[in-house]
Amino acid sequence: QSALTQPRSVSGSPGQSVTISCTGTSSDVGGYNYVSWYQQHPGKAPKLMIYDVNKRPSGVPDRFSGSKSGNTASLTISGLQAEDEADYYCCSYAGSYTLVFGGGTKLTVL
Amino acid sequence: QVQLVQSGAEVKKPGASVKVSCKASGYTFTSYAIHWVRQAPGQGLEWMGWIHTGNGNTKYSQRFQGRVTITRDTSASTAYMDLSSLGSEDTAVYYCAREFNCNYEYWGQGTLVTVSS
């Protein structure tokens, strides 16, 4: 399986919105509604932020939202805060009981 | 509360094998699969494979097929990841994660494996 494609970096000022894309194929992102997003701060384990394309686990602020169109999923963070600065990874079911991650996106809050 | 506690850091020589453990607590071990994900220094997350903790069935990424073996001991609520024929490119933090519907809500703390001669 090939890694899903994410932009290497995005940035935004506090209070602004940013969107991170995650592009796959019809065999993964486009074929299933099993896309999740993870936030990872340096030296820490990843944290689940979005699952099943657009659902938020309890405790995750509603500033985080997810969507999907065709083979591309997106994570939008509105009302950016300093603590949102982190690496973000998408993950998709890829069929045959396998999963695949995106390459990761570094979010910088200016 | 749900916890996944992994074994400590390892230093291995090229060609050796490493076995990392992941002890689960706070839930019924056999109700959720355990997946293994690794992260090389400065790199992204890479899915390695998983084990159905109930029946022991496994599935591995093609990238690691033949080199990785995931097992579990239900009596100890522990999953294991064994990686053989280590090379420098296997230097990474290895994570276990509890999976439900392709989501990882709970992760271990990570185990650093360093491969160096």
DSSP A24-57: --TTTGGG-S-EEEEEE-TTS--EEEEBTTTB--
CB contact under 8 A, B101 and A46: no
8 Å CB contact between A25 and A71: yes
Please compute the mean of the pLDDT values over residues A50-72 and round it to a whole number.
96
Is the confidence at residue B49, as pLDDT, over 80? yes
Is it the case that residue A33 has pLDDT exceeding 90? yes
pLDDT in tens, B54-110: 999 999 999 998 999 999 999 999 999 999 999 999 999 999 999 988 899 999 999
Predicted pLDDT at B35: 97
Of B46, B61, B107, the CB nearest to A45: B107
What confidence score (pLDDT) does residue A110 get?
92
Q: Is the pLDDT of residue B46 over 80?
A: yes
**Chain B residues 1-30 within an 8 A CB cutoff of chain A:** none
Cα–Cα distance for residue pair A5/B99, rounded to 1 Å: 23
Smallest Cβ–Cβ distance between B102 and the set A3, A99, A104 belongs to A99
pLDDT score, position B101? 80
**Is 90 exceeded by the pLDDT of residue A2?**
no
Q: Is A6 exposed, middle or buried (0-12, 13-18, 19+ CB in 10 A)?
A: buried
Q: Could you give the CA distance from residue A24 to residue A36 in angstroms, rounded to a whole number?
A: 13
Give the percent of chain B with pLDDT over 70: 100
- What's the rounded mean pLDDT across residues A34-60? 96
Q: Is the pLDDT of residue A20 over 80?
A: yes
Q: How far apart are CA B103 and CA B101, in angstroms?
A: 5
Cβ atoms of A109 and A81 closer than 8 Å? yes
Whether B1 and B106 have beta carbons less than 8 Å apart is answered as no
pLDDT in tens, A62-90: 999 999 999 999 999 999 999 999 999 99
Tokens of B98: 């509890």
- Testing the interface with B: which of A52, A97, A101, A106 to mutate, by most B Cβ within 10 A? A97
All residues at 6 or more sequence positions from B42 whose CB lies less than 8 Å from its CB, including other chains: none
Predicted local confidence at residue B65, as pLDDT: 85
> Which of B45, B109, B110 is nearest residue A101 as measured by Cβ atoms?
B45
What average pLDDT does the segment B47-59 reach?
96
Rounded to an integer, the average pLDDT of B26-49 is 96
Q: How far apart are CA A56 and CA B105, in angstroms?
A: 11
Distance CA A53, CA A24 (A): 13
Q: Does A93 contact B35 at a Cβ distance shorter than 8 Å? A: no
pLDDT greater than 80 at residue A1: no
Edge-to-edge strands of the sheet including B68-73?
B3-6, B18-25, B78-83, B68-73
**What pLDDT sits at residue A64?**
98
Pair of tokens at residue A11: 């940035």
